[in-house]
Amino acid sequence: MSKAITQAEKPLLVFWLMTMTLLGVFPLDVVLPSFPALAEHFHTSTTHIARSVSLFAIGFSCSMLLIGPLSDRIGRKKLLLASMVVAILGAVGCLAARNTPQFLFFRVIQAIGCGGFILSQALVQDLFFGREQERLRIAMATAGGIFISISPMLGAWLQLHWGWKASFYAFIALCAATWIMAHRLLHGGFPPTAPSERGIFRAYAKVFANRHFASYATISSITFACHFSFIVVSPLIFMDQLKLSPHEYSLTLLLYGAAYVVGGLCAGVLHKRLAAATQMAVGLVLIAISGVVMLLLAYLFGLSTPTVLVPMLLCTAGTTITRPISNSKAMSLFPDNAGAAASAVAAVLFIAGGCISAFISTFTHQLSTALGLCFLILSLAALALNSWARRHPHVL
């Protein structure tokens, strides 16, 4: 930015970043308990509503691919503020939608606006340095776990009292408040070294041509895809097949969110004691174990809340241990292209999450088996990439 953030301003900036993290759970996690109500309102199936989340993720990714490098050229603030306005307009459109195609269209508009949220990661890269960046990303991941754990309960409460539209009204209000905070807190101007001589595609060519970046981004996307796939199909498992009420479903995800928090705390401890590659390996091994456990429990006991939730607690702990470090390692390779790097990482995350979750949702009657197999196969692939990156360290 054109004016540096002072030490006195950093706590306010951290608070705003945490608010952005909270805002990020609304388009996906808070609306989960409303899946049956949305399906009833638009006269469609819960499976189709679940797949709309995958569509949201892919639209979100495409938006980020444009916004990140564009922010490297014109600055973060004005682009972030504009994208938040688009997200609000998309949410308003969802409220006014009269049929499923209209609802899906405005969800994509909302997703395009939400793509600007990735700029919070670029701002971490711009304004914090060294291990401070990694600590902040771990803290944001832990906060994300807390918000994920409470968001289904909030969604169930909103659904109970005001119906599915309440989550969109809440998103609009929070987004407007966050917009005001960003307008007052962030300084205008350009990133420290705006790559004006490079176009958007050239910036991405530079980022993706780096094999270490591609490895770390893929590791991060694999861990996120495991988490995201469960989030997308969890209403199908718990409410459609196991017949839990929205409130019971929210309590189930409360335990899942608690594991996310515990994983974040473990990541903070491991970060002080282990090298980055070792920490990522620990998390990936946990995900692999969770896949094996889920397959065994499904085979021995069939589908039930414990047979799904127990392995997911292991999986989410592994995700939270691995993803912040892999993100940070990828971002650190391109400090002068932080926007492009942040968008590239996040886009790969959500494209992988959207595609894999859509694929898993097609196995309507074997969802837990499909999840377990994906966790095992994907984690083994990520371990192989991590091993390669460890054997071939990046040289500046």
Residue extents of the structural domains in the chain: 10-391
Of 138, 136, 116, nearest to 126 by C-alpha is 136
Token readout for 247 is 């409130």
Rounded to whole angstroms, the Cα distance separating 376 from 349 reads: 18
Q: What global pTM score does this model have?
A: 0.77
CA angle 27-324-259, nearest 5°?
70
Q: Which CATH class is domain 10-391?
A: mainly alpha
Please check whether residue 343 is in contact with residue 123, taking contact to mean a CB–CB distance below 8 angstroms: no
Rounded to whole angstroms, the Cα distance separating 147 from 285 reads: 25
Task: Per-residue pLDDT tens, the chain, 396 aa: give them.
Answer: 444 566 777 788 888 888 888 887 788 888 888 989 999 999 988 888 887 887 888 888 888 888 877 777 777 888 999 999 999 999 999 999 999 899 999 999 999 999 888 788 778 877 777 677 778 877 887 787 678 767 878 888 999 889 999 999 999 999 999 999 999 888 765 455 545 545 667 778 888 889 999 999 999 999 989 988 998 889 889 998 999 988 888 888 888 877 777 777 887 788 788 888 999 999 999 999 999 999 999 999 999 999 999 999 899 889 989 988 898 888 888 877 776 787 788 788 888 888 898 899 888 889 999 999 999 999 999 999 999 999 887 654
Within a 10 A sphere around the Cβ of 5, how many other Cβ atoms? 17
What residues contact residue 151 under an 8 Å CB cut-off, 6+ apart?
25, 26, 29, 30, 32, 257
Rounded to whole angstroms, the Cα distance separating 136 from 24 reads: 17
Rounded to whole angstroms, the Cα distance separating 372 from 311 reads: 9
Rounded to whole angstroms, the Cα distance separating 189 from 15 reads: 22
Amino acid at 99: N
Token readout for 308 is 């799904």
Q: What length is written for the chain?
A: 396
Token readout for 97 is 């939608």
Element (DSSP H or E) covering residue 359: helix 338-361
What residues contact residue 337 under an 8 Å CB cut-off, 6+ apart?
69, 72, 195, 203, 206, 207
Phi, psi of 395 (to 5 degrees): -115, 125
DSSP, res 7? T
Of 214, 242, 218, nearest to 394 by C-alpha is 214
Token readout for 137 is 């990303």
CA-based end-to-end distance of the chain: 25
